[in-house]
Chains A and B, each alone.
Chain A
Amino acid sequence: MTKSELIQRLAEHNPHLYQRDVELIVTAIFDEITAALARGDRVELRGFGAFSVKRRDARLGRNPRTGDSVHVDEKHIPFFKTGKQLRDRLNAGS
């Protein structure tokens, strides 16, 4: 399922909304999550999962082709932990 298919589905379930509004809604949700993570906040959606940001320290890496050592800056990476309910749903009946 892609973002546009998600929008399509929502529009079908909500015939009273303009497709354009459904698009704005979906975009607003993911933008809000992005903005929170960019502030360093956690996003916790019970039953679904939690998004957080992890810091990776600067390190000395290596160019795997030449073997030269290169400085890798500190960076932040987004992380998602699946919620218990969703995890259980994925494994229900298996």
Chain B
Amino acid sequence: MAGRTVTRAQLSEAVYQEVGLSRNESAELVETVLNEISDALTRGEMVKISSFGSFAVRKKGKRIGRNPKTGEEVPISPRRVLVFRASHVLKDQINANLTKLRPAKTSAL
């Protein structure tokens, strides 16, 4: 696996290449997109991006956890967690590329 990391910089660059905005404004737009998504999620809304995936907020109830090192019981208070479900389009694109890269195991048999 390539193992490189893409950050805001590359996303801004992609925006910059797409429309005739300055680099600064492109970077701001990337930030605004992330903020709008975060705001909606914080309001408890689900965010659905077609052909990419959806982000949803799930409420978790109180439970008793354990410190795995000491075995001590620790209460875990109710909290909200974010779950991402990838769309089929995204899953298919990833598999079309990555799974093909490896030599087919079946041919070796």
Residues of A that sit less than 8 Å from B by CB: 1-3, 6, 9-10, 13-14, 17, 21, 24-26, 28-34, 36-49, 51, 53, 55, 58, 73-80, 82, 86-87, 89-91, 94
Contact = CB atoms under 8 A, between A and B. Distances in A.
Q: Give the dominant DSSP class at A's interface.
A: mixed
Contacts of B78: 94
A38 B34 contact: no
Contact of B40 (A1, A43, A47): A1
Interface of B: 1-8, 10-11, 14-15, 17-19, 26, 29-30, 32-34, 36-38, 40-42, 45-53, 55, 57, 78-82, 84, 86, 90-91, 93-99, 102, 105
A82 B30 CA distance: 17
